[in-house]
Amino acid sequence: MKILVIGKGGREHALALAASQSTLCTELFAAPGNPGMAEIATLVPIDDNQMTELADFAASNDIDLTIVGPENALADGIVDEFAARGLKIFGPTKAAAQVEASKDFAKGLMKKHNIPTAGYQTFTDYDAACSYVKEHGAPIVIKENGLKAGKGVTVAMNEADALEALKIAFDIPGNSVVIEDYLEGFEFSLIALVNGENVYPLECAQDHKRVGDGDTGPNTGGMGSYSPVKKITPELVEETMETIMKPMAKALVEEGCPFTGFLYGGLMVTDKGPQVIEFNARFGDPEAEVILCRLESDFVKAILDVMENKEPELVWTNKTSHGVVLASEGYPAGATKGAAIEGVNEVDGLVYHMGTKMDEGRLLTNGGRVLMVVTLADKLEDAMANTYEEVKKVNCDKLFYRTDIGRKDLVDGEN
Ligand code: AMP
Ligand code: GLY
């Protein structure tokens, strides 16, 4: 089969790597891909938001299956475009992708279908939002509507921070916010392969979203992750499936926008059981990098089976994967670009490219999150030690990383 992966980040690198290992894959393309993916796929110089050009490419090159990575392409309707032209593609339609693109849509659906999530209210008016915050007090969570690459969320532990977040949000004309109750608990990510009402969970991962050690500083797209998450027992996964993932898939079917693709549950285990922090319409990043490298069975076959409503075979290694993101100085507020990176080939582990570019044979930084180094070991603490040993081999004075991804106190000491 000829397979096309759309996107250019670490998630897409992980999707492409998993696809390249399938016995069904005879030729792999990535659009636009990245320098890391160039080793396993033919790079196609079409950006991930150029829907028509991508569909033209898939049609004229007899692509048998397209796998979509980024949320923007999904929210723009790339799946609708491909489907209208009879091209096979794994991902949600524009309507179904609203589970991520519109917090308001997702929260409304959860409320209507009794899917456990934090209480919330939507505001389009700055003064009304401020009054609500003053009435409710902190901690409280402010979320800007729309796609924000994980960065439009403020978990305000005091009222002043909440009001400041509102001020920033409403500085953007026409912006609206969702204000949520604060949930306390253990956070994890569960990504499922979904087709209509059929929902098959992959192994869980935990992402570390804050930029700084000890879970401090602003939220990012994710600074590191590991899988599996021992604290998330099979019973908890089962409960999450029955109370959250399956009901959401069913809700989307009932709303007339059935979901196909990777449904990402950002979840919190609270004293009232698992609750939803957010849904995403695609694989997580940096979750894909630590989950897919643990899959021993055929990834492409699993996708094809799900698309035909057959139960996929999913076999996982017992090993724990652990990964650390190397980000550019200034991230998440901004990012330096164009700094030379050396030593990537020395790393004994997986190196996913998140934001790099090649310039006359030199690898350069090219975005906020730049590389992710992942290693596997029997235990999390060993994988953690390995990854941090390997990360040192990457040389670039404009990159930084968290030094505590997977640390015992942050993962509840049970892995
Ligand atoms: P989101 O982009 O919605 O996933 O939010 C980013 C991060 O903010 C999450 O991963 C959580 O750590 C935190 N967060 C979001 N919503 C809540 C909430 N209601 N209560 C506590 N923390 C939250
Ligand atoms: N790692 C969080 C996300 O992909 O949204």
Least confident window among 138-147, 183-192, 377-386, 388-397: 138-147
Q: Residue 285 Cα, ligand 2 centroid: separation in angstroms?
A: 5
Kindly state the average pLDDT of the residues 368-386. Answer: 98
Please check the confidence at residue 369 and state whether its pLDDT lies above 60: yes
pTM of structure? 0.95
Kindly state the average pLDDT of the residues 276-285. Answer: 97
Closest residue to atom 3 of ligand 2, CA basis: 284
Q: Which atom of ligand 2 is nearest to the CA of 150?
A: 5
**Domain ranges for the chain:** 2-93, 119-181, 186-307, 320-411
Closest residue to atom 3 of ligand 1, CA basis: 278
**For residue 287, which ligand has an atom nearest its CA?**
2
Q: Does the beta carbon of 95 sit less than 6 angstroms from any atom of ligand 1?
A: no
Handedness of CA 232, 235, 240, 246 (dihedral sign): positive
pLDDT band at 173 (very low <50, low <70, confident <90, very high): confident
Per CATH, the number for 2-93 is 3.40.50.20
Q: Does the beta carbon of 375 sit less than 6 angstroms from any atom of ligand 2?
A: no
Q: Does the beta carbon of 219 sit less than 6 angstroms from any atom of ligand 2?
A: no
Residue of 133, 215, 219, 264 to mutate, ligand 1, most atoms within 8 A of C-beta: 219
Closest residue to atom 15 of ligand 1, CA basis: 277
What is the tens place of the pLDDT at every residue in 253-265?
A: 999 999 999 999 9
Please check the confidence at residue 245 and state whether its pLDDT lies above 70: yes
Pairwise CA distance, residues 391 & 37, whole Å: 19
Pairwise CA distance, residues 4 & 25, whole Å: 10
Q: Which atom of ligand 2 is nearest to the CA of 222?
A: 1
Please check the confidence at residue 405 and state whether its pLDDT lies above 90: yes
Pairwise CA distance, residues 56 & 62, whole Å: 10
Residue ranges of the alpha helices (H) in 308-357? none
Number of H helices, E strands in the chain: 13, 24
Q: Which atom of ligand 1 is nearest to the CA of 150?
A: 2
pLDDT at 410: 85
Which CATH superfamily includes the segment(s) 186-307?
ATP-grasp fold, B domain (3.30.470.20)
Cβ-based burial of 385 (10 A; exposed 0-12, middle 13-18, buried ≥19): middle
Please check the confidence at residue 174 and state whether its pLDDT lies above 90: no
Please check the confidence at residue 341 and state whether its pLDDT lies above 60: yes
- Which residues are CB-contacts of 191 (< 8 A; sequence separation ≥ 6)? 201, 202, 205, 262, 263, 264, 265, 283, 284, 287, 291
Please check the confidence at residue 333 and state whether its pLDDT lies above 60: yes
Q: Does the beta carbon of 215 sit less than 6 angstroms from any atom of ligand 1?
A: no
pLDDT at 409: 86
> Cα-flanking dihedrals φ and ψ of residue 41, to 5°?
-140, 160
pLDDT at 411: 86
> Among candidates 127, 36, 130, 51, which has minimal Cα distance to 84?
51
What is the distance of C-alpha 111 from the center of its chain? Answer: 23
Output the CA angle 390-395-396, nearest 5 degrees: 135
Q: Does the beta carbon of 267 sit less than 6 angstroms from any atom of ligand 1?
A: no
Instruction: Please state which of the four CATH numbers 3.30.1440.10, 3.40.50.2000, 3.30.1490.20, 3.40.190.10 is assigned to the domain occupying 119-181.
Output: 3.30.1490.20
Q: Residue 295 Cα, ligand 2 centroid: separation in angstroms?
A: 19
Q: Residue 85 Cα, ligand 2 centroid: separation in angstroms?
A: 30
> Among candidates 151, 208, 215, 212, which has minimal Cα distance to 402?
212
The average confidence (pLDDT) of the chain is 95
Please check the confidence at residue 175 and state whether its pLDDT lies above 90: no
CA separation, residue 256 to residues 25, 109, 158, 234, 280 (Å): 33, 12, 40, 31, 18
> Cα-flanking dihedrals φ and ψ of residue 92, to 5°?
-80, 155
What is the tens place of the pLDDT at every residue in 69-118?
A: 999 999 999 999 999 999 999 999 999 999 999 888 999 999 999 999 99
N residues, the chain: 415
What is the tens place of the pLDDT at every residue in 124-171?
A: 999 999 999 999 999 999 998 766 665 678 999 999 999 999 999 999
**For residue 141, which ligand has an atom nearest its CA?**
1
Closest residue to atom 2 of ligand 1, CA basis: 150
Q: Residue 150 Cα, ligand 2 centroid: separation in angstroms?
A: 7
What is the tens place of the pLDDT at every residue in 347-365?
A: 999 999 999 999 999 999 9
Q: Does the beta carbon of 100 sit less than 6 angstroms from any atom of ligand 2?
A: no
pLDDT band at 414 (very low <50, low <70, confident <90, very high): low
CA separation, residue 255 to residues 91, 108, 199, 251 (Å): 17, 12, 17, 6
Between residues 147 and 202, which one has the greater pLDDT? 202
Q: Residue 135 Cα, ligand 2 centroid: separation in angstroms?
A: 31
Least confident window among 101-105, 197-201, 337-341: 101-105
pLDDT at 415: 53
pLDDT at 147: 63
Is residue 65 within 8 Å of 303, Cβ to Cβ?
A: yes
Which segments within 232-292 are labelled E, that is strand?
A: 260-270, 273-280
Q: Residue 62 Cα, ligand 2 centroid: separation in angstroms?
A: 32
CATH class of 320-411: alpha beta
**For residue 116, which ligand has an atom nearest its CA?**
1
Q: Does the beta carbon of 10 sit less than 6 angstroms from any atom of ligand 2?
A: no
CB atoms within 10 A of CB 20: 19
Please check the confidence at residue 65 and state whether its pLDDT lies above 80: yes
